[in-house]
A and B are shown apart, each in its own frame.
Chain A
Amino acid sequence: MSRLRSVILVELLLPLALLIYGAWHGVVQVLYRAGVIRDISFLGIGYYQGLTAHGVINAIVLTTFFAVAFGNAVIEQTLKGVSPAFAWTGCALMVAGTLAAAAPIFAGRAEVLYTFYAPMKAHPLFYIGVVILVVGSWVSFWAWIAPYLRWRRTNAGEKTPLAAVGIFATFIIWQICTLPAAYELLVQLIPWSLGWTSGVNVVLSRLLFWFFGHPLVYFWLLPAYVMYYTVLPELAGGKLYSDFYARFAFLAFIVLSSPLGLHHQFTEPGYSQGYKFLHAALTFLVAVPSLVTAFTVAASLEHGARKSGGTGLFAWWGRLPHFDPQRWLFPYLFLGLVIFIFGGITGFVNASYSMAALVHNTAWIPAHFHLTVAGPVFLAILGMSLYLCAGLLGKPVASPRVAVAVPYVWTAGVFIFSAGLFYGGLKGAPRRTNLGMSFLDPESDAFRPDWVTGERVGMVGGCIMGLAVLLFFYALARTLLAARSEERAAAFALPQAAGVPRRAGAGGAQLRPLGRRGDRRHPHLLPAAAPPGPRWRVPPRRRLASPRCCWRRCFPQAGQPPFRPSPCSTSRMRAASCASSGLARRGCSCPSSRAARAPVR
């Protein structure tokens, strides 16, 4: 990974520097909203200017840069041979785009929020900067295609490493979903903001934006999923429970992520109710890969905890390294998952066709997405950024106890913040509004005493979140100033949990059974000592004699231990079905009968 060290470090540290501004305006915003600041601007930054920066920096710049940096690290470690020149080109484009978009934001010429809904117009440089940033991330992605093809050629018959599969899934989603955004920006908004065209088809531009805007959230989320599948089980001292279903989840995200953006547009004209309902249905389907992930990751954690002596139905939770300064990265990922439970449930509310009128554009919405993008995504980004920075520079994490505290403080903050905003949202408080100027100003005609509680609670939570970010930057700064060791830097690698071997005799992992009933429930986690007797003999109770099953036994999945196709367990098969399944031709001996006699060689 050392060849890409400087690219990755730039891609991690530049957005983190911008995050100082983005997080600062997060804190200031809750003060405005709670009516503590009753002004149009504070310290020279307007409310909506700061809100634009908060959204663009935290949700677009930070997430995109991090996905590319983490992707570079993962691909270089697993597939190897990413071209540094190619990676630098992508990085340079992203930096140029970010600076171009940042200039009008800081100059107050792009107060359009990060959704830049037309016909509200920003300075052309803002749109151009966004385009260059996205193109830079495409170039970075394209740099991984050649290493993948090379790896495939030299490792024929092997499974692509799971982390690489996850990164490719992330960027395939990104590639698909940024195309409508590119159309919106290049064909509609840039010519219009330059004055070349007179107007914009608003309904179309919003459709295109949300075609991009919802898959975008999976682009944020999937790097965190890669960590849950590969890094987290390793940190918990275990193995990944199900490699196959991890791949299934990534594939399902690619397929299911695109056609569901209309659930952001339930209250709009221009689309029929049928299409809106269809998108609600498709959104619900995303529950499948999410719940599979929840199951697989929880099972991997349980496995790791039981390996280190955990028992009971839930008591094994205590065996996980929640407060271990040696494994300080663990709580960043674990607490992200805990937050995500609530983010996921409230997401169901948002996608629910019937509940749109209740929650659309109220404070409920930011409360929800702070439990997703500011929960699992943000914590994973913080933790992995610190981990990669320290590792690539060969520096020890200087304040591991502070680093462990950060996710706990953040989690407390984000839960309090969201609780306040959920409550306020259900009372009707709008999102994206400088409430301190009107609704939360006791001297205004519009004053709403029933919104005060929610916004005050949100303010407390927001300030705690700000404290967590402060602690994080303290730990990061201490780490960057620590003494450097080239050896440590050279030896650095990301944790990559191995998959649990699914069949007896595979691998040789010395795994303990899970709990009292472990034998029955998780037999593939048993110690690997190969049982005596023919490998493919099946207990009579479970013996399955359909030709399909027999076929499967003759052709085990790729990547399994060496396998001889005989004996084929055809003894209990009906001779006719054995013969017709073509097993005989593949070297299995079918029981002799009149029907089976013919095809034998």
Chain B
Amino acid sequence: MQTATVPDLEKRVVAASLLFAASMLALLGYAAVRLGISVPGCVTSVKPFTEAALIQVAPGRYEAHVVSKTFSFKPVIKVPKGSLVDFYVTSTDVVHGFYVDGTDVNLTAIPGAVTYAQARFERPGKYQVICHEFCGLGHQDMIGKVEVTP
């Protein structure tokens, strides 16, 4: 008598949680594809480099080749306000973090590989570059700088 009347509430929970996961995923997909909010991919076109450089490729457009080495980031990046900077980041010893405070540049520098992110600096001032991956006893002092001039 009871068999067919048991409402399988759990089935509804499974359905609801699938729906929940799917809708969250749809939003992520929308953010990634339409809004361009994404994560670094696999950079294969740039060989790991050991020389740090800041290159102006066009007016207001810079390319930073960042070398992370215990316990510093090179070069010090100095760009005018409104610049668009392409960061190519690598490490020559252990794994480091590369987080430009106040921006969406949050990368992991891996020896033997190059990772990439892009940021536009609209606000003049000094941005701390923070190593957020443990790299040795001086890890907390591994701080770089992005200086944006007005």
Query: Does B32 lie within 8 Å of A354, measured CB to CB?
Result: yes
Q: Taking the complex as formed, is A536 at the interface, i.e. its CB lies under 8 A from any CB of chain B?
A: yes
A358 partner, pick from B10, B104, B134, beta carbons under 8 A: B104
Query: Does A268 lie within 8 Å of B130, measured CB to CB?
Result: no
Query: Does B140 lie within 8 Å of A273, measured CB to CB?
Result: no
A119 partner, pick from B10, B94, B140, beta carbons under 8 A: B94
Closest-by-CB residue of B relative to A296 is B10
Query: Does A356 lie within 8 Å of B106, measured CB to CB?
Result: yes
Query: Does A353 lie within 8 Å of B39, measured CB to CB?
Result: yes
What A residues does B128 contact at CB under 8 A?
446, 448
What A residues does B28 contact at CB under 8 A?
277, 280, 352-354
Query: Does A202 lie within 8 Å of B42, measured CB to CB?
Result: no
> Could you tell me the distance in whole angstroms from the C-beta of B18 to the nearest C-beta in chain A?
6
Query: Does A542 lie within 8 Å of B24, measured CB to CB?
Result: no
Give the contacts of A499-527 with B (CB-CB under 8 A). Answer: 502-504, 521, 523-524, 526
Q: Mark A402-442, 1 if CB is under 8 A from B, else 0.
A: 00000000000000000000000000101111110111000
Give the contacts of B1-42 with A (CB-CB under 8 A). Answer: 1-7, 9-10, 13-14, 16-18, 20-21, 24-25, 28-29, 31-32, 35, 37-42
Closest-by-CB residue of A relative to B1 is A531
Given known pairs A48-B137, A356-B39, A428-B130, the reply for A538 and B1 (CB within 8 Å) is yes
Q: Taking the complex as formed, is A270 at the interface, i.e. its CB lies under 8 A from any CB of chain B?
A: yes
Q: Taking the complex as formed, is B111 at the interface, i.e. its CB lies under 8 A from any CB of chain A?
A: yes
Closest-by-CB residue of A relative to B41 is A273
What A residues does B14 contact at CB under 8 A?
245, 288, 292
Closest-by-CB residue of B relative to A276 is B39
What B residues does A273 contact at CB under 8 A?
32, 38-41
What A residues does B6 contact at CB under 8 A?
502-503, 523-524
What B residues does A362 contact at CB under 8 A?
99, 132
Closest-by-CB residue of A relative to B22 is A284
Query: Does A537 lie within 8 Å of B1, measured CB to CB?
Result: yes
Query: Does A437 lie within 8 Å of B141, measured CB to CB?
Result: yes
Q: Mark B109-150, 1 if CB is under 8 A from A, else 0.
A: 011111111000000000010111111110111010000000
B25 partner, pick from A284, A435, A446, beta carbons under 8 A: A284
CA distance A170 to B120 in the complex (A): 47
What B residues does A555 contact at CB under 8 A?
none
Query: Does A361 lie within 8 Å of B133, measured CB to CB?
Result: yes
Query: Does B42 lie within 8 Å of A272, measured CB to CB?
Result: yes
Q: Taking the complex as formed, is A533 at the interface, i.e. its CB lies under 8 A from any CB of chain B?
A: yes
Given A353-B28, A438-B140: 4 more A-B contacts, CB < 8 Å: A284-B21, A288-B14, A521-B9, A539-B5
Query: Does B135 lie within 8 Å of A269, measured CB to CB?
Result: no
Q: Taking the complex as formed, is A488 at the interface, i.e. its CB lies under 8 A from any CB of chain B?
A: no
CA distance A258 to B14 in the complex (A): 20
Given known pairs A203-B112, A242-B10, A430-B130, the reply for A288 and B21 (CB within 8 Å) is yes
CA distance A295 to B10 in the complex (A): 8
Give the contacts of A348-389 with B (CB-CB under 8 A). Answer: 348, 352-354, 356-358, 360-362
A-B contacts, 7 listed (Cβ < 8 Å): A265-B108, A295-B10, A296-B10, A348-B24, A438-B140, A502-B6, A535-B1
What B residues does A46 contact at CB under 8 A?
137
Q: Taking the complex as formed, is A40 at the interface, i.e. its CB lies under 8 A from any CB of chain B?
A: yes
What B residues does A435 contact at CB under 8 A?
140
Query: Does B1 lie within 8 Å of A268, measured CB to CB?
Result: no
Query: Does B32 lie within 8 Å of A523, measured CB to CB?
Result: no
Closest-by-CB residue of A relative to B95 is A117
Query: Does A280 lie within 8 Å of B1, measured CB to CB?
Result: no
> Could you tell me the distance in whole angstroms from the C-beta of B145 to the nearest C-beta in chain A?
10
Given known pairs A291-B13, A544-B4, the reply for A357 and B135 (CB within 8 Å) is no
Q: Taking the complex as formed, is B107 at the interface, i.e. its CB lies under 8 A from any CB of chain A?
A: yes
CA distance A348 to B23 in the complex (A): 12
Given known pairs A203-B110, A270-B113, A537-B1, the reply for A353 and B38 (CB within 8 Å) is yes
CA distance A437 to B71 in the complex (A): 14
What A residues does B53 contact at CB under 8 A?
none
A281 partner, pick from B25, B42, B102, beta carbons under 8 A: B25
Query: Does B106 lie within 8 Å of A267, measured CB to CB?
Result: yes
Q: Taking the complex as formed, is A16 at the interface, i.e. its CB lies under 8 A from any CB of chain B?
A: no
A433 partner, pick from B13, B94, B106, B139, beta carbons under 8 A: B139
CA distance A357 to B140 in the complex (A): 20
Given known pairs A46-B137, A357-B106, the reply for A539 and B4 (CB within 8 Å) is yes
CA distance A448 to B5 in the complex (A): 62
CA distance A120 to B93 in the complex (A): 9
Q: Taking the complex as formed, is A285 at the interface, i.e. its CB lies under 8 A from any CB of chain B?
A: yes
Query: Does B5 lie within 8 Å of A269, measured CB to CB?
Result: no
> Could you tell me the distance in whole angstroms from the C-beta of B111 to the nearest C-beta in chain A?
6
What A residues does B13 contact at CB under 8 A?
245, 291-292, 295
What A residues does B42 contact at CB under 8 A?
269-272
Q: Which of A51, A291, A299, A358 has the most CB of B within 10 A?
A: A291
> Could you tell me the distance in whole angstroms from the C-beta of B17 to the nearest C-beta in chain A?
4
What B residues does A272 contact at CB under 8 A?
41-42
Query: Does A284 lie within 8 Å of B24, measured CB to CB?
Result: yes
CA distance A430 to B98 in the complex (A): 11
B5 partner, pick from A48, A202, A542, beta carbons under 8 A: A542
Query: Does A288 lie within 8 Å of B135, measured CB to CB?
Result: no
Closest-by-CB residue of B relative to A117 is B95
What A residues does B2 contact at CB under 8 A?
503-504, 523-524, 526, 531
A430 partner, pick from B5, B40, B102, B131, beta carbons under 8 A: B131
Closest-by-CB residue of A relative to B48 is A269
Q: Mark A46-65, 1 if CB is under 8 A from B, else 0.
A: 10100100000000000000
What A residues does B76 contact at CB under 8 A?
none
What A residues does B29 contact at CB under 8 A?
277
Given known pairs A430-B97, A539-B4, the reply for A269 and B40 (CB within 8 Å) is yes
Give the contacts of A156-209 with B (CB-CB under 8 A). Answer: 201-203, 206
CA distance A206 to B131 in the complex (A): 18
CA distance A570 to B135 in the complex (A): 72
What A residues does B18 contact at CB under 8 A?
288
> Could you tell me the distance in whole angstroms from the C-beta of A265 to the nearest C-beta in chain B?
8
> Could you tell me the distance in whole angstroms from the C-beta of A313 to the nearest C-beta in chain B?
16
CA distance A296 to B6 in the complex (A): 15
